Amino acid sequence: MKKTRLIPYTLILPALISYVTWHVIPIIGVMRLSLFKTNYVRTKWVGLKHYIDMFSDPEFLNALGNSVLYVVLVVPANLAIAVGVALMIFNTKENYQTYVKTLVYLPGFIGALILSATWAWIFSADLGLANQISVMLINKRVPWFSTRILSVLPICIAHVVTGAGGGVILFNASMKAIPSNVIDAAMIDGCNWPKIKLRILLPNIRGTVVLVALVQTIATLQLYYWIRFLAPFDYASNLMFRMMQLAFQYNKYGKGSAQAVVLMLIIMCIAWFQFRLMRKAK
């Protein structure tokens, strides 16, 4: 009997060892490193100095503000597109649903380097597609990536367009989990498809909406490659980019680790809040 009780713990032991090795120990190492001033040539104990100085650093505050801005612009837009597409294709043929889901999800398979090169051409200051459209509409070129907002906006557009596929698949699967007799009863009562989608499907996927919002928020806070390849400037940076820049470009590993800890705490707080929303949505 005792041996039987040990079987579940034995089965999860490899995953537990992997988690502790690749997650817990590095997190403890980063937290420890944040208390030192080091470039791995010279190391000096500074305690909480990095954390104290951080909130008077204008570059950190700018990166923090940009992180919030990216989340505010990207997450609602991503949710709106994903929910909208999932609702539109719900009552279509299965083959068409598969085609749309594949088409929307496909950009996620393409490497960030290729995607960023494509979007860099689209928002090129001279011959880019965005500026060609701008010239036709307002007879004026837009100097993309020259200011904060003109850098944040195209990065958000690129991230939303290429990142909505996963949400569409999750929302579509969540809608299909709704019992068909509920929809049939609504149709017998005279409801048309727009009413069914707004009053039955949409309320029943609230938990999935919160889950996707959580995943998208965490992914947006960790946005790095789009900034690195499109607008690697201080005025476009977020906490993730600033942390990577400090640690691996300027060799300020202590400061970079402190900002990594702050980013981790922000993500944990957001996750805790959204998990509470998920419980209420059930």
Residues 162-181 have pLDDT tens digits of 888 888 999 999 999 888 88
Q: What pLDDT sits at residue 246?
A: 92
**Tens of pLDDT, residues 44-82:** 999 999 999 998 899 999 999 999 999 999 999 999 999
142 alpha carbon, distance to own chain's centre: 27
Q: What is the CATH number of domain 51-281?
A: 1.10.3720.10
| 3-state secondary structure at position 44 | strand
At residue 245, φ and ψ (nearest 5 deg) are -65, -45
Residue 3, pLDDT > 70, answer: no
Question: Bigger pLDDT: 4 or 158?
Answer: 158
Rounded Cα distance between 84 and 131, Å, is 28
Burial group, residue 201, by CB count within 10 angstroms (0-12, 13-18, 19+): buried
Residue 1, pLDDT > 60, answer: no
Q: What pLDDT sits at residue 171?
A: 93
Residue 229, pLDDT > 80, answer: yes
Q: What pLDDT sits at residue 112?
A: 67
What is this structure's pTM?
Answer: 0.89
Rg of the chain over Cα atoms, rounded to whole angstroms, equals 23
Residue 138, pLDDT > 90, answer: no
| 3-state secondary structure at position 112 | helix
Q: How confident is the model at residue 213 (pLDDT cuts 50, 70, 90)?
A: very high
Residue 135, pLDDT > 90, answer: no
